[in-house]
Chains A and B, each alone.
Chain A
Amino acid sequence: MNPMSFLPYHDGSSFFDFLTQHHPELRPGVHDMTMPRAGVPVDLGRPGTLPVPHGTTVLALKYRDGAIIAGDRRATEGFQIADRRIEKVFRIDEYSAMAIAGAAGPCIEMAKLFQTELEHYEKLEGVQLSCEGKANKLGQMVKANLPMVFQGLVVMPLYVGYDLKRKEGRIFKYDITGGRYEESDHHSIGSGGKDARNTMREHYRLGLDEDAALRVGLLALYNAADEDVGTGGPDLVRGIYPTAKIVSEAGITDVPESRVRALYETMIAERRRI
């Protein structure tokens, strides 16, 4: 009898590998081909498709002391709004955060698994993974999700981390095959990603301070919401605002809602015509 039978026995420091080997039912990306295909908006209503909530515009940009990551709050299911206050920006560990676009359920699952993965490694090995190591690991998880993509369940992360060795914030984007690409200044993904990228291209400057960079990010989300039905703008009636996090040498901090609200109130006051 294996003496460790009451405790899970495994070699290696990856929680993701541990789940794959011992609890494949808990791992995202394990799929059943007989499942009906999840519907992208155009497929909605066709027999054999399921509507799945989708996340929309998230963005990241660098500033003088690190990087900012932000996202809107709307999830859509075809032409319906599935959720008005979904959270798309996740704290991953002390120095990194990730934002997601795609099918909401698998996205949130991936964020949770990635958090556990990094903490697990840190506890087993006694040191944190390097910023580069974390980004690569996320790429492998996106790659493992590829079978789900053919089922219509796309998960697209945007990752920011503070690199303690290089003393700078870093931004990584991914493709569905797990390809990992580093962005030098800013990037945005999701249905309103193109609109947000256009805004950032116009307003981004090297070495922005925190306040200015946050303003550019929030403006980009505002413009994306203006152009894209899938992206939610600031909801003044219900008091729902996009969320943002900042990673810097001091670690990760949430941008308080009051600060986001104040920036939006100024922005809206400048644009108000009646």
Chain B
Amino acid sequence: MPLPYYVSPEQMMQDKAEYAKKGIAKGRSIIALEYLDGIVLAADNPSSSLHKVSEVYDRIAFAGAGKYSEFEHLRKAGIRHADLTGYMYSREDVSARTLSNAYSQSLGTAFSTDVKPLEVEILVVQVGVNGQPNEIFRISFDGSIVDEKSFAVIGGRSEAVQQYLREHATPQPPTLKDGLRRCLSALEQVATQKIPSENLEVAVLDRNRQGRKFRRLTSADISLLFV
């Protein structure tokens, strides 16, 4: 039996990281931005049924970029994790921090032990109620986890979108209308083309809602906001 070639661990990790990054950069970007009443999530998504943004629990939402089958798998696992915690303890004990840690552990293990790393980057966001701050966690393909402030971008040319949002940041969180406009112009600037409102997938975590805070905006809702 021939011996496998020796590959140094540094080289192996680097190759895996490059492979994953390439896969993630192929897609389009998703933005999470804090606004006056919570957090708005906006994605450039031509499909109206294959969602990139979804509800996880009362105050928590998920967004995934990269390979659909992989982040969809993570999304479902996260919902199971959250529903199980909520059923076992109580609804208020489900937190974005715990969920992000579980994601981070899973992605980290997959990155270091599996031949093929997961080509995904995900966001776990939680709207703060009763004066609590919002939480935005960005988790990368290798399990590294970043606690973001005021906005976060994943997928596609995320650096460029981030740059735009940083330049146009305001000291106070914008209204939903202004926030969504800012997201749209950031996405359009990087895509260098107009994005019609039916290609925009938008959802909000609105702290003023009763019970479950997550709400999807239909393209009619979005058009109304842009009038």
Contact = CB atoms under 8 A, between A and B. Distances in A.
A1 B114 CA distance: 9
Contacts of A205: none
Given A3-B113, A4-B106, A116-B86, A126 B51 contact: yes
Interface residue tally of chain A, by bracket? 20 to 34
A26 interface: yes
A7 B114 contact: no
A224 to B, nearest CB: 32
Interface in A17-34: 18-19, 23, 26
Contact of A26 (B87, B107, B113): B87
Interface string B64-92: 00000000011011111101101110000
B109 A1 contact: yes
A10 B84 CA distance: 12
A119 B84 CA distance: 12
B83 A7 contact: no
A10 B78 CA distance: 11
A26 to B, nearest CB: 6
B56 A6 contact: no
Contact of B105 (A6, A116, A126): A6
B17 interface: no
A236 B102 CA distance: 52
Contacts of A26: 87-88
Contacts of A18: 80, 84
B110 interface: yes
B83 to A, nearest CB: 5
A266 B83 CA distance: 44
Contacts of B105: 6
Interface string B154-188: 00000000000000000000000000000000000
Contact of A3 (B79, B80, B109): B109
Q: Most chain-A Cβ atoms within 10 A of its Cβ — which of B78, B87, B105, B109?
A: B87
A3 B114 contact: yes
A124 B81 CA distance: 12
Contacts of B106: 3-7
B44 to A, nearest CB: 19
A123 B102 contact: no
B103 interface: yes
A8 B114 contact: no
B83 A15 contact: yes
Contacts of B135: none
Nearest to A26: B88
A9 interface: yes
A126 B83 contact: no
A120 B55 CA distance: 10
Given A7-B80, A26-B88, 10 more contacts: A3-B106, A4-B77, A5-B109, A15-B87, A116-B87, A120-B80, A120-B83, A123-B55, A124-B76, A126-B51
Interface of A: 1, 3-10, 15, 18-19, 23, 26, 112-113, 116, 119-120, 123-124, 126
20 contacts: A3-B106, A3-B113, A6-B103, A7-B78, A7-B81, A7-B106, A8-B77, A8-B80, A9-B77, A10-B80, A15-B83, A15-B87, A18-B84, A112-B87, A116-B86, A120-B80, A123-B56, A123-B79, A126-B49, A126-B51
